[in-house]
A and B are shown apart, each in its own frame.
Chain A
Amino acid sequence: MLQMNNVSKVYQTEMVQTHALRDFNLQVNEGEFIAVTGPSGSGKTTFLNIAGMLEPFNEGEYLLDGVNVGSLNDNQRADLRNQKIGFIFQGFNLIPDLNLYENIEVPLRYRGIKANERKRRIEQCLEQVGLASRAKHLPQQLSGGQQQRVAIARALAGEPRFLLADEPTGNLDSLMARQVMELLEQINRDGATIVMVTHDSELARRAPRNIQVVDGQLADFTLYQGAQTIKTASGV
């Protein structure tokens, strides 16, 4: 499903060169549910951004569902994101001026799906996250947990095979976090591959496979499980 071979990402400013990822190797198979943990600044978000094609990388090779991402132009990357990936963000990133229905509709419109098919999918996804009755509500009329469920519905509406979640429960209290996590597990059981970045080790343990990013590299899960922080800073 996802394969990264020796992927490197360097942030260059005038003064400093920061190696956010170096020689990063990872293989994610179809149907997996992976939790990515690691200390802050370790490169988790950079990994997620590259995996989601939100930013380019400097070296190495990244294959998403067999497509070599490095060789795509901006439009092709946008289309591939739209078709293959569902994003769930820590801050939900719902569009405040659009109601729930319209929010979920956004990626479907970008894909050019026809109105009646959009309607079918949106209603189905809202049903799935338990918010079918609130389609006309605006995001600010919902609680954080409900907003994140809308965001999940938006990610699901495109029927992606690959879900990328960035601290999906980071802004939620523990009860809501648990509900969201259960929803993700359900989605995974339904067949989607999920990569979830989190620094909540308890949450991470619920995922069948845990990986840890330290200093921009993949660390063996078994070595670091339970250990809080081995190295703190990224390679400066």
Chain B
Amino acid sequence: MLEIKPIFNALCRSKVGAVLLLIQIAITTAIVSNAAFIIQDRISYLNQETGYPEQDIFKFNVMTFGTDINLSQQFELDESMLRKMPGVVDAALSSSIPLSGSGSASSFNLKPAPQEGLSVRAAYIFIDDHAINTYGVNLIAGRNFTEDEVLVTNEITQKRTNVTIVTKALLDELYPDGDGLGKIVYFGDLPLKVIGVIGKMKGPWLKDSKPDNFAFIPYIKAESYTQVAVRTEPGQRATVMKEIENAMLANYSKRVINNIKGLDELKNEYTAQDRLMMRMLIVLITILVLITALGIFGLTLFNISKRTKQIGTRRALGARKSAIVSYFLVENALICSLGLALGVVTAILLGKMLMQYFSVAALPPSYIAVTAIAVLLMSLLAVLAPAKRAANISPSIATRTI
């Protein structure tokens, strides 16, 4: 037997505690549903497919201080030495490293600058014909660069690069009909023919609004500071990474090899803040939910001790133990449903605010619904133990003068 009406009336007459709890439940619902969504969003962001075998790839920096060599020739020697090292699959000079948070981007246009036409921003890497193999990415259409198409120089020259390999995401944006392979895109005013398409390959910035827009351009500008990417056989990376400095210095010693880091490590450094935020959010919502549960638990205990005589009287007037338990459950459910109703509205408003000021995606209603159900269950659980305790109050309390 549920006495909703008298319980509701009684609540309305002494509402301070109930209102405080209601607000707490509303705040919990609003914050938890938004935080849960952001956490889920971050998890899928952190676990997204990058297109690379991250565990097998590493990079290192080369700073050459010796001036007694031709850098272009030296790098070609280095590359062929690296590619022959045991455990190495392939290696290439890479003007920047994907997922690392640092790189270059430019607009890729359908018409040469300064003519106006469709323009799409994309990250790019200057790299040679070993790019696809070194980064272990998947060429889904077209072909790789040939050795002849790669321009290697550290001098000003009239020779121009004229091909590119791009990701499907970039090509589809430039040519929505899917017929971009073999067409020309303009890198500034430089026409590049798209000769190959890569299925998936993330650029340097995962947080970028278009992290999938990425291009390889076959050009090696030999400079005293450069970066090299290496892919090893699975499980061989640690060994190769240890040997790399000696091997490079054995080839030529007037240089410094440093910043030897795995691709996964670079990605972790880049996403460290996101992971920290995610952990803090998880801690925050756990604490919030616990505090709300404790609040409900405490308020019920307080109500019981305040109403000991009333509970005894109710028992004397014929309430079964189950009626006392259901009294507190119904009372809590009433406060909770009002709190949840307020919480749902607050959650939507908070979600809109986050969307507006922090460019978070729109909060899906399912997150609010699941949070609301979870908060309701948690509150019923929190009230159950005190309610059972109340049911065990002896009816003989009614005749005692306290």
CA distance A110 to B322 in the complex (A): 11
How far apart are A122's CB and chain B's nearest CB, in angstroms? 12
Answer whether A95 and B395 are a contact pair too, CB < 8 Å, given A78-B315, A89-B313.
no
Other-chain residue from A52, A54, A75, A105 in contact with B320 (beta carbon distance below 8 A): A75
A206 within 8 A of B: no
B399 within 8 A of A: yes
Interface string of A76-87 (1 = CB under 8 A from B): 001101110001
Q: Which parts of B312-350 form the interface with A (CB within 8 Å)?
A: 313-323
Please give, as numbers and ranges, the residues of chain B lying within 8 Å of A70 by CB-CB distance.
none
Please give, as numbers and ranges, the residues of chain A lying within 8 Å of B316 by CB-CB distance.
52, 54, 81, 87, 93
B401 within 8 A of A: yes
A22 within 8 A of B: no
Across the interface, name the chain B residue whose C-beta is closest to A102: B6
Please give, as numbers and ranges, the residues of chain A lying within 8 Å of B317 by CB-CB distance.
81-82, 87, 106-107, 110, 154
Other-chain residue from A55, A98, A138 in contact with B394 (beta carbon distance below 8 A): A55
Q: Is the pair B10, A91 in contact by a Cβ cutoff of 8 Å?
A: no
Please give, as numbers and ranges, the residues of chain B lying within 8 Å of A97 by CB-CB distance.
9-11, 13-14
B360 within 8 A of A: no
B3 within 8 A of A: yes
Q: Is the pair A106, B399 in contact by a Cβ cutoff of 8 Å?
A: no
Which secondary structure characterizes the binding site on chain B? helix
Answer whether A49 and B399 are a contact pair too, CB < 8 Å, given A95-B313, A98-B10.
yes
How far apart are A167's CB and chain B's nearest CB, in angstroms? 9
How far apart are A121's CB and chain B's nearest CB, in angstroms? 14
Q: Is the pair A54, B398 in contact by a Cβ cutoff of 8 Å?
A: yes
Please give, as numbers and ranges, the residues of chain A lying within 8 Å of B323 by CB-CB distance.
110
Please give, as numbers and ranges, the residues of chain B lying within 8 Å of A90 by CB-CB distance.
399, 401
How far apart are A40's CB and chain B's nearest CB, in angstroms? 11
Other-chain residue from B1, B320, B394, B401 in contact with A91 (beta carbon distance below 8 A): B401
Q: Is the pair B320, A78 in contact by a Cβ cutoff of 8 Å?
A: yes
Number of interface residues of A (CB under 8 A): 36
Other-chain residue from B1, B10, B319 in contact with A78 (beta carbon distance below 8 A): B319
Q: Is the pair B318, A95 in contact by a Cβ cutoff of 8 Å?
A: no
Q: Is the pair B10, A95 in contact by a Cβ cutoff of 8 Å?
A: yes
Q: Is the pair B313, A93 in contact by a Cβ cutoff of 8 Å?
A: yes
CA distance A89 to B317 in the complex (A): 11
A74 within 8 A of B: yes
Q: Which parts of A168-196 form the interface with B (CB within 8 Å)?
A: none
Other-chain residue from B6, B11, B398 in contact with A93 (beta carbon distance below 8 A): B398
Interface string of B300-316 (1 = CB under 8 A from A): 00000000011001111
Q: Is the pair B313, A102 in contact by a Cβ cutoff of 8 Å?
A: no
Q: Is the pair B399, A98 in contact by a Cβ cutoff of 8 Å?
A: no
CA distance A55 to B14 in the complex (A): 31
CA distance A110 to B317 in the complex (A): 8
Across the interface, name the chain A residue whose C-beta is closest to B6: A102
Interface string of A30-73 (1 = CB under 8 A from B): 00000000000000010011001111000000000000000000
CA distance A153 to B11 in the complex (A): 24
CA distance A74 to B318 in the complex (A): 10
Q: Is the pair B399, A81 in contact by a Cβ cutoff of 8 Å?
A: no
Q: Is the pair B396, A138 in contact by a Cβ cutoff of 8 Å?
A: no
Across the interface, name the chain A residue whose C-beta is closest to B399: A166
Answer whether A109 and B320 are a contact pair too, CB < 8 Å, given A55-B396, A97-B10.
no
CA distance A52 to B319 in the complex (A): 14
Q: Is the pair A107, B14 in contact by a Cβ cutoff of 8 Å?
A: no
How far apart are B398's CB and chain A's nearest CB, in angstroms? 6
Please give, as numbers and ranges, the residues of chain A lying within 8 Å of B399 by CB-CB distance.
45, 48-49, 52, 54, 89-90, 166
5 contacts between A and B (CB under 8 A): A52-B399, A78-B320, A89-B313, A110-B317, A110-B319
What 8 pairs between A and B have smallest CB-CB spacing?
A82-B318, A97-B10, A54-B396, A107-B317, A93-B313, A110-B318, A55-B396, A54-B395
Binding site for A on B (CB under 8 A): 1, 3, 6, 9-11, 13-14, 309-310, 313-323, 394-396, 398-401
New contact pairs (9) apart from A74-B320, A110-B320, CB-CB < 8 Å? A45-B400, A52-B399, A89-B399, A93-B309, A97-B9, A97-B14, A98-B10, A102-B9, A158-B318
